[in-house]
């Protein structure tokens, strides 16, 4: 069993990481191409550091993904809790259906319809002559398409949780908000965290919605890359992503090592 599971996980990871390895390999290309190797060099890594706009865009992307992920997680978790306890069935199912809309619309429909909405609001309701799309409109758009993923990942945990736990807590005199933090949240936390991770991931990678709802003061990395249509993508972008992956994997391994040490220490302390 152990071997089977290790082998299986290994094969799937191999497949998942194959394109990433290819990206890493081409980032060392001496030539301009991302499909033919013409020798090995580090020139794209040095070229990378001459392009501050890439790092600026990366910073923007991370900022946006973090903030929209967090906001969506808070709103979405609350919504999932509220929905699970909602008595009226029609209301529950209609909220459920509406929530999924941004997920099933092609991004360009969500993107353009939100852009039209922002223009409409700012011209007709706020009375502005100019529409300033930027961080806040992007934040709204990203939270909107992140919400269904958060709700969908919290929901199963809520279903799995014993329904009577919060009731018991409240019967014992715990106020509802306190019972949420003390009883429910710890129970559904894995769902909340995976919801946040998904929201973060989706937001980090979005380009269509960001293209229409972002302004020129806040450019994100995927949009920048998506706009490279006149000329092919060069290995410098590959170099950037290789650095990103290496950083993330290093962080993951380090945190894993740290927690392993913690555990061992705890185990020793117990003895």
Partner 1 sequence: MKAKSFFSRAAAAPHIVWSVMFIVAPLLFVLYYALTDPNGAFTLSNIAALPEYGGTFFLSISLSLIATIICILIGYPMAYFISRAKPSRQPLLLMAALVPMWINLLIRTFSMMAILDDGGLINTLLGTNLHIVGTKGAVIFGMVYDFLPYMILPIYTVMSKMDKRVLEAASDLGCNHFEVLLRVVLPLTRSGIVSGVTMVFVPSISTFYISQKLGGGTFELLGDTIERQFANPDTYNVGAAISLVMMVLILLSMAIMNKFADEDAEGGMLP
Partner 2 sequence: MKKRFFSLCLVLLLLASCLLAFSSCSEEELPTRTLHVYNWGQYISDGSYDLPDVNALFEEYFNEQLAEKYGYRIEVNYSTYPSNEDMYNKIASGSGSFDVIVPSEYMIEKMISENLLLELDFSKITNYEYIAEEFRTDFNTYDPEGKYTVPYTYGTVGIIYNTDYVDEEDIGSWDLLWNEKYSGKILQFNNSRDALATALYRLGYSVNTTDHTKWAEATELLKQQKPLVQAYVMDEIFNKMISGSAWIAPYYAGDFLTMYDSNDSLAFYTPKEGTNIFVDAMCVPTCARQVDAAMEYINFMLSEEPALANAEYLGYSCPNTLVTESEEYQEYMLDWHEESLDILYSKSLVVDDYTDLKDINAENKRSFFHAISNTEENGNLLDYTNSLWAEIKIESSIEPWIIVTDIVILALLFAWWLSSFLRKRAREKSYTQK
Give residues in contact with partner 2 (CB under 8 A): 31-36, 38, 47, 50-52, 55-56, 58-59, 62-63, 66, 112, 115-116, 118-119, 123, 130-131, 133, 189-190, 193, 197, 211-212, 215-217, 219, 224, 226-232, 251-252, 255-256, 258-259
> Residue 110 corresponds to which tokens in the numbers above?
């969500």
Instruction: Could you list the beta-strand ranges (E) of the chain.
Output: none
Write the burial class of residue 60 (CB in 10 Å: 0-12 exposed, 13-18 middle, 19+ buried): buried
Sign of CA pseudo-dihedral 236, 237, 241, 244: positive
Kindly identify the residues of this chain, within the stretch 198-227, that bind partner 1 according to CB under 8 A. Answer: 198, 201, 204-205, 207, 221-222, 225-226
Exactly one of 143, 199, 211, 239 binds partner 1 (CB under 8 A); which one? 143
Closest separation in Å from C-beta 232 to partner 2: 4
Q: Which of 60, 73, 153, 210 binds partner 1 (CB under 8 A)?
A: 153
Site string for partner 1, 1-40 (x = CB under 8 A): x---x--xx--xx-xxxxxx-xx--x-------xx-----
Other Cβ atoms closer than 10 A to 128: 12
Q: How far apart are the first and last CA of the chain?
A: 31
Which residue among 172, 173, 177, 270 contacts partner 1 (CB under 8 A)?
177
Separation CA 30–CA 33 (nearest Å) = 9
114 binds partner 1 (CB under 8 A): yes
H or E element at residue 40? none
- Residue 165 as a binder of partner 1 (CB under 8 A): the answer is no
Neighbours of 201 (CB within 10 A): 14
Of 46-54, 128-136, 155-163, which part binds partner 1 (CB under 8 A)? 155-163
**Partner touching 201 among partner 2, partner 1, none, CB below 5 to 8 Å by kind:** partner 1
Short-list 142, 138, 156, 148, CA closest to 98: 148
Q: Which of residues 227-266 bind partner 1 (CB under 8 A)?
A: 233, 237-238, 241, 244-245, 248-249, 252-253, 255-256, 259-260, 263
Q: Which does 51 bind (CB under 5 to 8 A by kind): partner 2, partner 1, none?
A: partner 2
Q: Report the partner that residue 90 touches, choosing among partner 1, partner 2, none (CB closer than 5 to 8 A by kind).
A: none
CB of 246 vs partner 2, minimal distance in Å? 14
CA neighbor of 69 nearest in space, from 173, 269, 204, 231 = 204
Partner whose footprint covers residue 20, from partner 1, partner 2, none (CB < 5 to 8 Å by kind): partner 1
Residue 192 near residue 185 (C-beta atoms within 8 A): yes
Helix, strand or coil, per DSSP, at residue 29: strand
Segments in 180-219 forming alpha helices (H): 185-205, 208-213
Kindly state the smallest distance separating residue 212's Cβ from partner 2, in Å: 7
**Token pair for 168:** 């018991």
């Amino acid at each position: 069993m152990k071997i089977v599971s290790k082998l299986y996980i290994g094969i799937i990871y191999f497949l998942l990481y194959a394109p990433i390895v290819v990206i890493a390999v081409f980032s060392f290309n001496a030539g301009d191409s991302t499909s033919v190797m013409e020798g090995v060099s580090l020139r794209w890594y040095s070229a990378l550091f001459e392009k501050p706009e890439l790092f600026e865009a990366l910073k923007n992307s991370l900022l946006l993904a973090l903030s929209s992920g967090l906001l969506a997680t808070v709103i979405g978790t609350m919504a999932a809790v509220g929905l699970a306890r909602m008595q009226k069935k029609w209301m529950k199912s209609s909220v459920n259906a509406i929530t999924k809309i941004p997920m099933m619309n092609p991004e360009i429909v969500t993107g353009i319809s939100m852009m039209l909405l922002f223009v409409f609001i700012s011209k007709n309701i706020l009375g502005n002559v100019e529409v300033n799309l930027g961080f806040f409109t992007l934040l709204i758009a990203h939270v909107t398409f992140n919400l269904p993923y958060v709700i969908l990942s919290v929901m199963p945990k809520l279903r799995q949780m014993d329904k009577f736990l919060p009731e018991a807590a409240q019967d014992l005199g715990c106020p509802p908000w306190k019972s949420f933090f003390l009883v429910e949240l710890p129970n559904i936390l894995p769902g909340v965290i995976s919801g946040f991770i998904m929201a973060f991931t989706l937001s980090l990678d979005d380009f269509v919605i960001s293209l229409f709802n972002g302004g020129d003061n806040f450019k994100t990395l995927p949009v920048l890359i998506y706009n490279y249509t006149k000329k092919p993508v060069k290995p410098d972008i590959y170099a950037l992503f290789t650095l990103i992956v290496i950083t993330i994997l290093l962080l993951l391994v380090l945190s894993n090592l740290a927690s392993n040490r913690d555990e061992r220490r705890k185990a020793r302390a117990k003895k």
